[in-house]
Amino acid sequence: MTATCTVCEAQVDLPNNCCEGELLICGDCGTELEVIALDPITVEEAPQVQEDWGE
Amino acid sequence: MPTLRILFTRLRVEEKLLREAAERQNIPCELQNVSDVWYGERPFCGADDVILARCVSHNQNEAVAQILESQGIRVVNPSSVMAVCGNKLTTSIALAKAGIRQPKFRTAFSPEAAVEALEDLGYPAVCKPVSGSWGRLLAKINDREAAEAVFEHKSMLGAIHNTFYIQEYIEKGDHDVRAFVVNGDPICAITRKSAHWITNTARGGAASNLPLDDEISSVLRSVHCTIGGEFLAVDLFRKEGEWLVNEVNDGGEFRNSIEPTGTDIPAAVVKAAWERRPSR
């Protein structure tokens, strides 16, 4: 399964047990993408890291 | 049927590993994206369920825990633990009350007072946001001019940054330690080595196993006694033959710690969470 990068339109491979919310890195432009839906496969640019994100 | 619900807003490797670990133990488990959920009086889930709260945003994670606890639902870690771990000053005060060794720290509320606090502490020192992670916005300050500049700039970053948290800089050699504590038991630890003074593995620090001994285990148990929680990730420095607790994380990441330690950390975490279910 692949998704289309929303920034550079490269094809991005999805991991086997991919699920919604998963993060992908576009191999071409390095954009971090978030899987919004699996049927049909929909990705968006992942939200920027927020100030209180972390461990 | 009781279910272990792993809540997330950003799916990290850790959350997938936790689900896989639950499946291996035949624990009924659901991985739930709660980005678009709203919360009120309506019960979020069954009263017999148990929640493993893993939202990447600390504030959202604590908010979810608080509201679900108000519905009588068991949450790991409890919001009270999140409240302490989510603020470095709160953590330091809790450790100080318990007499647990940590780097000296100061706090101030204006750039001018922060500079004086640092002068008192001595250079170099480290300024950290009270609420932050992944090594973000840490500043090692080597002299007064740098202090004046850093504190002035930080004061422009918004309210939370006007509580200045200043910590003694520890000459820790080229590594610090990250240890994992589950249900109060230290289960494994790694050293995080880096040429840079910030050693987070999120920033390239290299992990290797650190066998636990009685000394570090005793420190870790005292941290758990003080803070509580089913799953803690504790960061420590070694200084002059003593362990100093640098930080305690309630939403620990462990992807880089499983292989070097040979410890199935996610399995221990989901087991601990599952044992907190009410009907047990």
DSSP secondary structure string, B254-275?
-TTTHHHHT--HHHHHHHHHHT
Does the pLDDT value for residue B155 go beyond 90?
A: yes
* A55/B134 CB distance under 8 A: yes
Does the pLDDT value for residue A52 go beyond 90?
A: no
Tell me, what's the pLDDT at B99?
Answer: 98
Residues 148-167, chain B, touching A (beta carbon < 8 A): 160
Mean pLDDT of A8-30: 90
* Option in A22, A52, A55 nearest B249 (CB): A55
φ, ψ of residue B123 to 5 degrees: the values are: -95, 155
Residues 37-56, chain B, touching A (beta carbon < 8 A): 56
Angle of the B88-97 helix axis to the B214-227 helix axis, nearest 10: 110
Lowest mean pLDDT of B8-12, B83-87, B97-101, B195-199, name the range.
B195-199
The pLDDT confidence band at residue B279, using thresholds 50, 70 and 90, is confident
CA dist B95 and B101 (Å) reads 8
The pLDDT confidence band at residue B203, using thresholds 50, 70 and 90, is confident
The pLDDT confidence band at residue B239, using thresholds 50, 70 and 90, is very high
The pLDDT confidence band at residue B134, using thresholds 50, 70 and 90, is confident
Mean pLDDT of B80-96: 97
CA dist B250 and B88 (Å) reads 12
Is the Cβ of A40 closer than 8 Å to some Cβ of chain B?
no
Tell me, what's the pLDDT at B41?
Answer: 87
CA nearest neighbour of B134 among B252, B33, B260 = B252
Lowest mean pLDDT of B34-43, B112-121, B182-191, name the range.
B34-43
Percent of chain B exceeding pLDDT 90 equals 87
* B16/A20 CB distance under 8 A: no
Tell me, what's the pLDDT at A49?
Answer: 84
Tell me, what's the pLDDT at A35?
Answer: 93
List, for residues B18-72, the tens digit of each pLDDT value.
999 999 999 999 999 998 899 988 999 999 999 999 999 999 999 999 999 999 9
* Option in A34, A47, A55 nearest B133 (CB): A55
Domain ranges of chain A: 2-45
Is the Cβ of A48 closer than 8 Å to some Cβ of chain B?
no
A and B: number of Cβ contacts within 8 A? 55
Planar angle of CA B245, B259, A32, nearest 5 degrees? 85
ipTM: 0.81
Does the pLDDT value for residue A1 go beyond 90?
A: no
Mean pLDDT of A20-33: 91
Does the pLDDT value for residue B228 go beyond 90?
A: yes
* B12/A23 CB distance under 8 A: yes
Is the Cβ of A23 closer than 8 Å to some Cβ of chain B?
yes
Tell me, what's the pLDDT at B211?
Answer: 98
Does the pLDDT value for residue B201 go beyond 80?
A: no
Chain A contact set for B233 (CB, 8 A): 55
Class of domain A2-45: mainly beta
What is the SS3 string spanning chain A? CEEECCCCCCEEECCCCCCCCEEEECCCCCCEEEEEEECCEEEEECCCCCCCECC
- Please give, rounded to a whole number of angstroms, the shortest distance from the CA of A10 to a CA of chain B: 22
Tokens of B153: 């700039």
Say which residue the tokens 């504030």 belong to.
Answer: B59
* Mean pLDDT, rounded, of chain B: 95
Helix (H, G, I), strand (E, B) or coil at B75: strand
The answer to whether B54 and B18 have CB atoms below 8 angstroms apart is yes
Does the pLDDT value for residue B280 go beyond 80?
A: no
Is the Cβ of B249 closer than 8 Å to some Cβ of chain A?
yes
Chain B contact set for A50 (CB, 8 A): 57
Tell me, what's the pLDDT at B182?
Answer: 98
The pLDDT confidence band at residue A2, using thresholds 50, 70 and 90, is very high
Tell me, what's the pLDDT at A51?
Answer: 83
The answer to whether A46 and A33 have CB atoms below 8 angstroms apart is yes
Is the Cβ of B33 closer than 8 Å to some Cβ of chain A?
yes
Nearest residue on chain B to A17, alpha-carbon basis: B16
- Please give, rounded to a whole number of angstroms, the shortest distance from the CA of A8 to a CA of chain B: 23
CA dist B151 and B142 (Å) reads 13
